[in-house]
Amino acid sequence: MYVFGDSLVDVGNNNYLETFFRANFPFNGIDFPSGKPTGRFSNGKNAADFIAENSGLPTPPPYLSNKNDLFLNGVSFASGGAGILNSTNNLPSNGTIYLSKQVEYFSEVQQRLIAKIGESEAKNHLSNSLFAVVIGSNDLFNYFSSKSKIPIRKSPQEYIDLMLSTFSNQLTQIHGLGARKFLIAGIGPIGCTPSQRLLNSSENCNEEANYWTMNYNKGVQSMLIKLKSQLKEDFNYTYFNIYDFLVSTIQNPTKYGIHEVKAACCGAGRLKAASPCTPIATYCPNRSDHIFWDEVHPTEAATKLLVNTLFNNTKQYVTSMNLTNLLAL
Protein backbone atom coordinates (compact mmCIF):
# COMPACT_ATOMS: atom_id res chain seq x y z
CA MET A 1 0.00 0.00 0.00
CA TYR A 2 1.27 3.43 -1.03
CA VAL A 3 -0.40 6.36 0.74
CA PHE A 4 -0.60 9.97 -0.46
CA GLY A 5 -2.43 12.62 1.50
CA ASP A 6 -2.78 14.83 4.55
CA SER A 7 -3.19 14.52 8.32
CA LEU A 8 -6.11 12.09 7.97
CA VAL A 9 -3.56 9.45 6.91
CA ASP A 10 -0.18 10.85 8.11
CA VAL A 11 1.55 8.13 10.17
CA GLY A 12 4.50 10.27 11.26
CA ASN A 13 6.14 12.06 8.32
CA ASN A 14 5.63 15.43 9.98
CA ASN A 15 7.67 14.27 13.00
CA TYR A 16 10.68 14.81 10.71
CA LEU A 17 9.69 18.33 9.59
CA GLU A 18 10.08 21.75 11.18
CA THR A 19 6.40 22.52 11.19
CA PHE A 20 3.42 23.76 13.16
CA PHE A 21 1.48 20.71 11.88
CA ARG A 22 2.63 18.06 14.33
CA ALA A 23 0.92 15.51 16.51
CA ASN A 24 3.85 13.82 18.27
CA PHE A 25 2.74 15.01 21.72
CA PRO A 26 -0.09 14.17 24.14
CA PHE A 27 -2.96 13.75 24.13
CA ASN A 28 -2.67 12.38 20.62
CA GLY A 29 -2.14 8.62 20.68
CA ILE A 30 -3.78 8.11 24.07
CA ASP A 31 -5.72 5.13 22.65
CA PHE A 32 -3.00 3.90 20.27
CA PRO A 33 -1.77 0.38 21.21
CA SER A 34 1.39 1.88 22.74
CA GLY A 35 -0.64 4.62 24.50
CA LYS A 36 1.90 7.13 23.18
CA PRO A 37 1.76 9.83 20.48
CA THR A 38 3.09 8.65 17.10
CA GLY A 39 2.52 11.67 14.88
CA ARG A 40 -1.01 10.54 14.00
CA PHE A 41 -3.56 13.34 14.36
CA SER A 42 -5.88 11.11 16.37
CA ASN A 43 -6.50 9.63 19.80
CA GLY A 44 -5.59 6.25 18.28
CA LYS A 45 -5.30 4.68 14.86
CA ASN A 46 -6.10 6.63 11.70
CA ALA A 47 -7.58 5.73 8.31
CA ALA A 48 -4.24 4.46 6.91
CA ASP A 49 -4.07 1.89 9.74
CA PHE A 50 -7.64 0.66 9.27
CA ILE A 51 -7.41 0.48 5.45
CA ALA A 52 -4.20 -1.55 5.76
CA GLU A 53 -5.66 -3.85 8.43
CA ASN A 54 -8.79 -4.52 6.39
CA SER A 55 -6.67 -5.20 3.29
CA GLY A 56 -4.44 -7.65 5.16
CA LEU A 57 -1.44 -5.36 4.67
CA PRO A 58 0.99 -3.75 7.11
CA THR A 59 0.49 -0.04 7.82
CA PRO A 60 3.01 1.65 5.51
CA PRO A 61 5.83 3.45 7.38
CA PRO A 62 6.45 7.19 6.92
CA TYR A 63 8.79 7.91 3.98
CA LEU A 64 10.89 10.39 5.97
CA SER A 65 11.73 7.73 8.58
CA ASN A 66 14.19 6.18 6.10
CA LYS A 67 14.33 8.01 2.77
CA ASN A 68 16.70 5.49 1.15
CA ASP A 69 14.66 2.37 1.92
CA LEU A 70 13.20 0.21 -0.86
CA PHE A 71 9.82 0.09 0.92
CA LEU A 72 8.89 -3.25 -0.64
CA ASN A 73 5.92 -3.47 1.76
CA GLY A 74 4.68 0.01 0.85
CA VAL A 75 5.22 3.50 2.20
CA SER A 76 3.30 6.60 3.26
CA PHE A 77 4.14 10.03 1.83
CA ALA A 78 1.16 11.63 3.62
CA SER A 79 1.83 14.82 5.54
CA GLY A 80 -0.32 16.84 7.96
CA GLY A 81 -1.29 20.17 6.43
CA ALA A 82 -0.63 19.01 2.86
CA GLY A 83 -2.77 20.12 -0.03
CA ILE A 84 -3.32 19.45 -3.70
CA LEU A 85 -2.00 22.95 -4.38
CA ASN A 86 1.67 23.67 -3.61
CA SER A 87 0.59 26.98 -2.04
CA THR A 88 -1.55 25.30 0.65
CA ASN A 89 0.17 25.72 4.05
CA ASN A 90 3.52 26.11 2.32
CA LEU A 91 5.13 28.60 4.69
CA PRO A 92 8.58 28.39 6.30
CA SER A 93 7.02 27.89 9.76
CA ASN A 94 4.34 25.51 8.49
CA GLY A 95 6.33 23.06 6.40
CA THR A 96 4.41 20.23 4.79
CA ILE A 97 4.96 17.72 1.97
CA TYR A 98 2.44 19.01 -0.58
CA LEU A 99 1.04 16.44 -3.02
CA SER A 100 3.35 17.26 -5.95
CA LYS A 101 6.34 16.70 -3.64
CA GLN A 102 4.82 13.40 -2.46
CA VAL A 103 4.64 12.32 -6.12
CA GLU A 104 8.32 13.31 -6.54
CA TYR A 105 9.25 11.14 -3.57
CA PHE A 106 7.28 8.24 -5.05
CA SER A 107 9.21 8.68 -8.31
CA GLU A 108 12.46 8.26 -6.35
CA VAL A 109 11.14 5.09 -4.66
CA GLN A 110 10.04 3.72 -8.05
CA GLN A 111 13.51 4.34 -9.51
CA ARG A 112 15.15 2.51 -6.58
CA LEU A 113 12.74 -0.40 -7.01
CA ILE A 114 13.62 -0.71 -10.70
CA ALA A 115 17.33 -0.58 -9.91
CA LYS A 116 16.98 -3.30 -7.27
CA ILE A 117 14.46 -5.79 -8.68
CA GLY A 118 14.37 -4.90 -12.39
CA GLU A 119 11.83 -3.05 -14.51
CA SER A 120 9.49 -5.99 -15.16
CA GLU A 121 9.31 -7.07 -11.50
CA ALA A 122 8.89 -3.45 -10.32
CA LYS A 123 6.05 -2.94 -12.82
CA ASN A 124 4.34 -6.10 -11.56
CA HIS A 125 4.85 -5.10 -7.91
CA LEU A 126 3.35 -1.62 -8.37
CA SER A 127 0.44 -2.74 -10.57
CA ASN A 128 -0.64 -5.13 -7.79
CA SER A 129 -0.30 -2.55 -5.00
CA LEU A 130 -3.02 -0.29 -3.60
CA PHE A 131 -2.57 3.48 -3.97
CA ALA A 132 -4.67 5.36 -1.40
CA VAL A 133 -5.11 9.11 -1.92
CA VAL A 134 -6.77 11.18 0.82
CA ILE A 135 -6.31 14.91 0.20
CA GLY A 136 -8.02 18.22 -0.52
CA SER A 137 -9.47 19.26 2.87
CA ASN A 138 -6.62 21.65 3.66
CA ASP A 139 -6.98 23.45 0.33
CA LEU A 140 -10.65 24.12 1.17
CA PHE A 141 -9.99 24.93 4.84
CA ASN A 142 -7.48 27.55 3.66
CA TYR A 143 -10.04 29.09 1.30
CA PHE A 144 -12.80 29.24 3.94
CA SER A 145 -10.70 30.26 6.95
CA SER A 146 -11.69 33.59 8.49
CA LYS A 147 -8.29 35.13 7.63
CA SER A 148 -8.11 33.86 4.04
CA LYS A 149 -7.09 36.29 1.31
CA ILE A 150 -7.61 33.74 -1.50
CA PRO A 151 -11.27 34.77 -2.11
CA ILE A 152 -10.01 38.24 -3.11
CA ARG A 153 -8.09 36.63 -6.00
CA LYS A 154 -10.27 33.65 -6.92
CA SER A 155 -13.97 32.81 -6.80
CA PRO A 156 -14.80 29.47 -5.12
CA GLN A 157 -15.48 27.91 -8.55
CA GLU A 158 -12.14 29.11 -9.98
CA TYR A 159 -10.33 27.75 -6.93
CA ILE A 160 -12.06 24.35 -7.18
CA ASP A 161 -11.34 24.17 -10.92
CA LEU A 162 -7.66 24.78 -10.16
CA MET A 163 -7.71 22.03 -7.50
CA LEU A 164 -9.35 19.58 -9.94
CA SER A 165 -7.00 20.23 -12.88
CA THR A 166 -3.96 19.99 -10.56
CA PHE A 167 -5.26 16.77 -8.93
CA SER A 168 -5.96 15.19 -12.33
CA ASN A 169 -2.36 15.87 -13.39
CA GLN A 170 -1.00 14.43 -10.12
CA LEU A 171 -3.04 11.21 -10.45
CA THR A 172 -1.89 10.89 -14.07
CA GLN A 173 1.73 11.20 -12.88
CA ILE A 174 1.25 8.51 -10.21
CA HIS A 175 -0.33 6.29 -12.87
CA GLY A 176 2.59 7.01 -15.22
CA LEU A 177 4.95 5.71 -12.52
CA GLY A 178 3.16 2.35 -12.42
CA ALA A 179 0.08 2.68 -10.18
CA ARG A 180 -3.01 0.82 -11.45
CA LYS A 181 -5.31 0.47 -8.40
CA PHE A 182 -6.46 3.68 -6.75
CA LEU A 183 -8.56 4.33 -3.67
CA ILE A 184 -9.68 7.97 -3.86
CA ALA A 185 -11.47 9.51 -0.87
CA GLY A 186 -13.77 12.47 -1.34
CA ILE A 187 -13.68 15.33 1.16
CA GLY A 188 -15.95 15.23 4.21
CA PRO A 189 -18.31 18.06 5.28
CA ILE A 190 -15.56 20.41 6.43
CA GLY A 191 -18.18 23.02 7.37
CA CYS A 192 -19.34 20.71 10.19
CA THR A 193 -15.93 20.45 11.89
CA PRO A 194 -15.79 22.14 15.31
CA SER A 195 -13.37 24.75 13.92
CA GLN A 196 -15.92 25.82 11.27
CA ARG A 197 -18.90 25.67 13.67
CA LEU A 198 -17.02 28.17 15.85
CA LEU A 199 -17.32 30.78 13.10
CA ASN A 200 -21.00 31.35 13.87
CA SER A 201 -22.77 31.94 17.16
CA SER A 202 -25.43 29.29 16.43
CA GLU A 203 -22.69 26.63 16.16
CA ASN A 204 -24.35 25.25 13.03
CA CYS A 205 -22.33 23.87 10.12
CA ASN A 206 -20.79 26.42 7.76
CA GLU A 207 -23.11 25.79 4.80
CA GLU A 208 -21.02 27.75 2.29
CA ALA A 209 -17.96 25.60 2.98
CA ASN A 210 -20.12 22.46 2.71
CA TYR A 211 -21.73 23.60 -0.56
CA TRP A 212 -18.35 24.07 -2.24
CA THR A 213 -17.01 20.83 -0.78
CA MET A 214 -19.94 18.98 -2.40
CA ASN A 215 -19.21 20.85 -5.62
CA TYR A 216 -15.57 19.78 -5.49
CA ASN A 217 -16.50 16.14 -4.77
CA LYS A 218 -18.81 16.07 -7.82
CA GLY A 219 -15.93 17.46 -9.88
CA VAL A 220 -13.58 14.73 -8.61
CA GLN A 221 -16.05 12.01 -9.62
CA SER A 222 -16.41 13.48 -13.13
CA MET A 223 -12.63 13.83 -13.39
CA LEU A 224 -12.12 10.16 -12.40
CA ILE A 225 -14.63 8.98 -15.04
CA LYS A 226 -12.71 11.05 -17.62
CA LEU A 227 -9.36 9.59 -16.51
CA LYS A 228 -10.79 6.07 -16.73
CA SER A 229 -11.99 6.70 -20.30
CA GLN A 230 -8.53 7.98 -21.26
CA LEU A 231 -6.42 5.33 -19.51
CA LYS A 232 -8.85 2.41 -20.00
CA GLU A 233 -8.19 -0.86 -18.14
CA ASP A 234 -4.86 0.51 -16.91
CA PHE A 235 -6.68 2.76 -14.43
CA ASN A 236 -9.01 1.22 -11.85
CA TYR A 237 -10.39 3.00 -8.83
CA THR A 238 -12.73 3.00 -5.87
CA TYR A 239 -14.22 6.37 -4.95
CA PHE A 240 -15.34 6.74 -1.34
CA ASN A 241 -18.07 9.30 -0.68
CA ILE A 242 -17.06 10.33 2.85
CA TYR A 243 -19.23 13.46 2.68
CA ASP A 244 -22.63 11.74 2.55
CA PHE A 245 -21.66 9.14 5.14
CA LEU A 246 -20.53 11.76 7.68
CA VAL A 247 -23.61 13.92 7.08
CA SER A 248 -25.76 10.84 7.72
CA THR A 249 -23.79 10.16 10.93
CA ILE A 250 -24.17 13.78 12.10
CA GLN A 251 -27.92 13.69 11.43
CA ASN A 252 -28.51 10.21 12.96
CA PRO A 253 -25.66 9.81 15.44
CA THR A 254 -27.27 7.26 17.76
CA LYS A 255 -27.67 4.84 14.83
CA TYR A 256 -23.86 4.69 14.80
CA GLY A 257 -23.31 4.75 18.57
CA ILE A 258 -22.21 8.42 18.52
CA HIS A 259 -23.59 11.03 20.93
CA GLU A 260 -21.50 14.18 20.40
CA VAL A 261 -21.37 15.58 16.85
CA LYS A 262 -20.52 19.27 17.43
CA ALA A 263 -17.75 19.54 20.01
CA ALA A 264 -14.22 18.18 19.84
CA CYS A 265 -13.07 15.68 22.46
CA CYS A 266 -9.67 17.31 23.05
CA GLY A 267 -9.05 21.04 23.08
CA ALA A 268 -10.12 24.15 24.99
CA GLY A 269 -12.75 26.87 24.87
CA ARG A 270 -16.09 26.81 23.09
CA LEU A 271 -16.83 23.41 21.47
CA LYS A 272 -13.31 22.49 22.72
CA ALA A 273 -12.26 24.01 19.39
CA ALA A 274 -11.00 27.47 20.32
CA SER A 275 -7.51 26.02 20.75
CA PRO A 276 -5.95 22.72 19.58
CA CYS A 277 -5.35 19.45 21.39
CA THR A 278 -2.08 19.97 23.28
CA PRO A 279 -0.65 18.67 26.59
CA ILE A 280 -2.36 21.58 28.38
CA ALA A 281 -5.79 20.91 26.83
CA THR A 282 -8.47 18.73 28.42
CA TYR A 283 -9.92 15.64 26.77
CA CYS A 284 -13.16 13.69 27.12
CA PRO A 285 -13.25 10.30 28.83
CA ASN A 286 -15.82 8.91 26.35
CA ARG A 287 -13.85 9.22 23.13
CA SER A 288 -15.88 6.64 21.21
CA ASP A 289 -18.97 8.86 21.69
CA HIS A 290 -17.45 11.69 19.64
CA ILE A 291 -17.06 12.17 15.89
CA PHE A 292 -14.26 14.71 16.38
CA TRP A 293 -11.07 14.19 18.31
CA ASP A 294 -9.84 17.79 17.95
CA GLU A 295 -11.00 20.87 16.05
CA VAL A 296 -10.79 19.16 12.63
CA HIS A 297 -9.77 15.47 12.92
CA PRO A 298 -12.06 12.48 13.55
CA THR A 299 -11.72 10.16 16.53
CA GLU A 300 -10.42 6.63 16.09
CA ALA A 301 -14.03 5.42 16.55
CA ALA A 302 -15.39 7.65 13.76
CA THR A 303 -12.51 6.66 11.47
CA LYS A 304 -13.17 2.97 12.09
CA LEU A 305 -16.85 3.53 11.21
CA LEU A 306 -15.80 5.21 7.97
CA VAL A 307 -13.37 2.49 6.90
CA ASN A 308 -15.83 -0.30 7.83
CA THR A 309 -18.40 1.41 5.58
CA LEU A 310 -15.84 1.46 2.78
CA PHE A 311 -15.08 -2.26 3.14
CA ASN A 312 -18.75 -3.20 3.56
CA ASN A 313 -19.20 -1.77 0.05
CA THR A 314 -22.20 0.31 1.09
CA LYS A 315 -23.46 1.17 -2.42
CA GLN A 316 -24.51 4.75 -1.73
CA TYR A 317 -21.02 5.61 -0.49
CA VAL A 318 -18.70 3.48 -2.67
CA THR A 319 -18.71 4.08 -6.42
CA SER A 320 -16.99 2.74 -9.52
CA MET A 321 -15.49 -0.53 -8.22
CA ASN A 322 -15.86 -1.86 -4.69
CA LEU A 323 -12.59 -2.09 -2.82
CA THR A 324 -12.58 -5.86 -2.39
CA ASN A 325 -12.86 -6.32 -6.17
CA LEU A 326 -10.22 -3.65 -6.76
CA LEU A 327 -7.77 -5.43 -4.41
CA ALA A 328 -8.48 -8.77 -6.14
CA LEU A 329 -7.66 -7.45 -9.65
Residues annotated catalytic, as ranges: 7, 294, 297
Distance CA 41, CA 296 (A): 9
Cβ atoms of 117 and 181 within 8 Å: the answer is no
Output the DSSP codes for 32-73: STTSS--S-SSSS--HHHHHHHHHT-PPPPBGGG-TT---TT
**What is the rounded distance in angstroms from the CA atom of residue 192 to the CA atom of residue 83?**
19
Prior bond of 27 cis (ω within 30°): yes
Q: What are phi and psi of 290, to 5 degrees?
A: -100, 145
Q: Which residues contact 273 (CB under 8 A, 6 or more apart)?
A: 193, 194, 195, 197, 198, 263, 264, 267, 294, 295
Q: What is the DSSP string of 256-321?
A: GT--EEEEESEEBSGGG-SB---TTSEE-S-GGGEEESSSSPBPHHHHHHHHHHHHTT-TTTEEES
The closest of 133, 59, 51 to 324, measured between CA atoms, is: 51
Residues 122 and 110 sit within 8 Å (Cβ to Cβ): yes
